[in-house]
A and B are shown apart, each in its own frame.
Chain A
């Protein structure tokens, strides 16, 4: 019995080895057989086709001076190259792209998706379907709208970072502008409010010996998947306050009754949306709490006096309110796009009322009453109290 059992086990074992070996490594790809896309841009062509432009990182150091694997990084100049393909939709363009690239196109490391301004106006719903449905694009990739065509941005090179994709990503990450990922964009576009905000990339033109470079400037507002307007940098900061996305900020205010400026560095901030429905009156209370540190004082105010600090706090609150109000008027009254997800806030607190009125949201939204409650605390006066170099300080 034992011998027979042992034989069976052996046969099964050999069989399973063959089963493993026969398919071989059919779906494996060596890392050096990949065309690694670091950024992809989408534009609309004149005849309403989709032009897909990708930035591919050059892993093979061009030229024959390299003998082995000991290539020094950074020797090859122009370490990325750009390829474009035109197709009826995203998938079509992506498959055509493979025809012009010798290696297997690999989307897994694409960290930046750029949409051209024209495409954004036409609507992002179609390419977004591919990006959320197909499994290789990363949900954590950053999305941008480029002023002008996306291809132009991708054709640029970044002198500091490895590629322009890295440069854009790092800029978005530094939190001075908006930082929106593919996942967040999909959530916003598919959410209750069907409005989204995407950071806007602009190209700084060539100046003297300074090469042109892209940078983040303002934001694009999307409603129902279509771009409805652009916001400038100042108003974008207001949007960030409302979306609770302000992480780093240095605010400079000029207090009344004195000359000069006081600059404050934001230490911590929190924004909360509190919805109320009172009959037909829909209200949102925005509570903004912030803690600041003074980093520079060029006024004659002695900031070791609590009264002056209180004055500063009020000034700062006014400043924040001003920014937020500016953003609100543009977005809520003019563009009528609910990029702050008021809809979700209402839905969470008043699901019944929301369900009754969800078809009317477009009418309700511009009339939602927004009340701002800001509470700023200047927590630290910095390392010095009185200005050491201004003896006349009060």
Chain B
């Protein structure tokens, strides 16, 4: 019986796969080569672009005799430049027939590609490059004059810093690769490119530094990306979810950033950066738990401040995970653990509260999450109203109404602040959600439950890998030397080696003895 079920399932998945392939991948007409009859090519292309009102077929004569057609998408090409540098030079009256090479010479544009198939033509046109087809030629010319409206480069609002570059990635892939190239100018910076998405044909670029990044890692990233068959990629999160090591884990296994300096720093440590057209968030792989808790500012401030802030962050991460659950556990199971005077105060404040501590905690934490979400999605003008009402609801009014106790409000507030201390939203929200099961465990089993939860969580984190790199490295497996970037933020001159697991192919990043100080020239002080 089970066997039958299993085969049915297998059969269904195979059928679905073939259905997907038929519908999307194989489009026989795109394989066709361009012919030397302009009319035939036009016919093909007009069938492809039927009912595409934004595709313009501009027919004209080169030198007033050879028929030609310029195909472009309105709004994606720089029309002024096309008129000035393509159409104008070609519409003179020439004494002789022009070959394609001559035409190429006449066009005063630096980026020109030859296209040979209908598929290539549509590809170029979709990218905004006008394609020129000429009567009697088996190839066309794609002219690199794409231009569309794009956002200016601004400071990313989700990762703002006090000190450090204010540039952020934008939605255009080319601009983003340029921003990367401006930081790492060496030709060793390789940027591979591919298209993903049968309909969206999204351009994806994979950047890495040759000689630092492990070749196997680059290969693995390429392999996982090539595996993706999907209708479209609208944000890098689509890719993230399709190439993760553990798709069920609540923890992010790729780092997404909008900052070119962060991406550059990771490139220099041997990581691979995946840039996706249409989104400012780029993906960095592999990533460890601790790198999700690092902020670029740690490295731009003095190392003392950087280390201190890092410790603070670790502490508050623990609080945001365990704060309410420890409060609930201690208050309902282990009253002897609380100092007497504190217990008496807490018991007094809880005297008229109708709910058990667990219900109270879950209620308030849910309230807080609701308020946060409501505030995040609303326009700014209404958002402030939400926060005022929220402050009343989970603050003074709730206590005055006798629904929750004052210490609980404090715990919720501290936990709330703690959860915003995580420098990456993804890790913050994972931890924030995990504290609800923790609270349940605490309410059911007390501290025993909390410890069970922590053990389960640690077990999960220990099994987790990001592109083969253990998630908790360098703590587990322990690598003493590398704690310089985990336990504290060592001064720049002390961080002379790359992280072992990603950078061991090129371990040294600094020349020896970089510590500044007076030169010891043997003459003494």
Contacts and interface: CB of A to CB of B under 8 A. Distances in A.
Interface of A: 1, 3-4, 20-21, 23-25, 27-32, 34, 36, 38, 57, 59-61, 66-71, 73, 106, 108-109, 111, 136, 138, 162
B335 A34 contact: yes
A226 B475 CA distance: 58
- Most A CB within 10 A of own CB, among B340, B345, B357, B400: B340
B353 A36 contact: no
24 contacts: A3-B9, A20-B444, A21-B444, A25-B332, A25-B356, A25-B444, A28-B333, A28-B358, A28-B443, A30-B357, A31-B350, A36-B344, A60-B351, A61-B348, A61-B351, A66-B351, A67-B352, A68-B399, A68-B401, A69-B349, A69-B351, A70-B349, A108-B336, A136-B336
Contacts of B357: 30-31
A30 B443 CA distance: 11
B406 interface: yes
Nearest to A108: B336
Nearest to B404: A69
Nearest to A3: B9
Nearest to B345: A73
B75 interface: no
Contacts of B440: 20
B402 A25 contact: no
B344 A57 contact: yes
Contact of A27 (B333, B350, B353): B333
Contacts of B2: 4
Given A20-B444, A25-B444, A109-B340, A73 B358 contact: no
B228 interface: no
Contacts of B346: 31
B473 interface: no
B351 A28 contact: no
A23 B357 CA distance: 17
B320 interface: no
Contacts of A31: 331-332, 335, 343, 346-347, 350, 357
Contacts of A25: 332, 356, 358, 443-444
B332 A30 contact: yes
Interface of B: 2, 6, 9, 331-333, 335-336, 340-341, 343-353, 356-358, 399-402, 404-406, 440-441, 443-446
Contacts of A20: 440-441, 444-445
Contact of B351 (A21, A32, A38, A138): A32
A109 B400 contact: no
Nearest to A28: B332
B335 A109 contact: yes
A65 to B, nearest CB: 12
A68 B406 CA distance: 10
Contacts of B352: 66-69
Nearest to A169: B340
Contacts, number: 103
A68 B332 CA distance: 20
Contacts of A24: 444
A109 B444 CA distance: 23
Nearest to B333: A28
What's the dominant secondary structure at chain B's contact region? Answer: helix
Contacts of B9: 3
Which of A31, A61, A70, A136 is most buried by chain B, counting CB atoms within 10 A of its CB? A31
A109 B351 contact: no
Contacts of A3: 6, 9
Given A30-B357, A106-B336, 10 more contacts: A20-B444, A31-B347, A31-B350, A36-B344, A36-B347, A38-B340, A61-B348, A68-B352, A70-B399, A162-B344
B350 A32 contact: yes
Given A20-B444, A32-B350, A59-B351, A70 B406 contact: yes
Q: Which 7 A-B pairs have the closest CB atoms?
A: A108-B336, A68-B402, A28-B332, A59-B347, A32-B350, A31-B347, A69-B349
A111 B340 CA distance: 9
Contact of A4 (B6, B400, B405): B6
A27 B446 CA distance: 9
B349 A71 contact: yes
B444 A68 contact: no
Contacts of B400: 67-68, 70
B353 A69 contact: yes
B157 to A, nearest CB: 39
Contacts of A30: 331-332, 350, 356-357
Nearest to A21: B444
Contacts of A69: 349-353, 399, 402, 404-406
A127 to B, nearest CB: 20
Contacts of A28: 332-333, 356, 358, 443, 446
Contacts of B401: 68
B375 to A, nearest CB: 26
A101 B335 CA distance: 18
A24 B343 CA distance: 24
A4 B400 CA distance: 53
A108 B335 CA distance: 7
Contacts of B446: 28
A363 B44 CA distance: 121
Nearest to A138: B336
A29 B348 contact: no
Given A68-B401, A108-B336, A138-B336, A36 B343 contact: yes
Contacts of B340: 36, 38, 109, 111
Contact of A71 (B341, B348, B441, B443): B348
A342 B514 CA distance: 64
Contacts of A73: 345, 348
Contacts of A108: 335-336
Contacts of A109: 335-336, 340, 343
B324 to A, nearest CB: 15
B23 to A, nearest CB: 25
A36 B399 CA distance: 24
A250 B353 CA distance: 50
A34 B347 CA distance: 8
Q: Which of B341, B357, B399, B444 has the most CB of A within 10 A?
A: B444
Nearest to B396: A70
A69 B351 CA distance: 7
Nearest to A58: B348
Nearest to A71: B348
A76 to B, nearest CB: 9
Contacts of B348: 59-61, 71, 73
Contacts of A136: 336
A68 B6 CA distance: 61
Contacts of B332: 25, 28-31
A149 B408 CA distance: 42
B31 to A, nearest CB: 36
Contacts of B333: 27-29
Nearest to B401: A68
B353 A32 contact: yes
B9 to A, nearest CB: 6
B103 to A, nearest CB: 57
Contacts of B347: 31-32, 34, 36, 59
A34 B331 CA distance: 11
A138 B340 CA distance: 12
A23 B444 CA distance: 8
B335 A106 contact: yes
A374 to B, nearest CB: 39
A40 B474 CA distance: 53
A71 B405 CA distance: 10
Nearest to B331: A31
A38 B347 CA distance: 14
A36 B405 CA distance: 19
Contacts of B404: 69
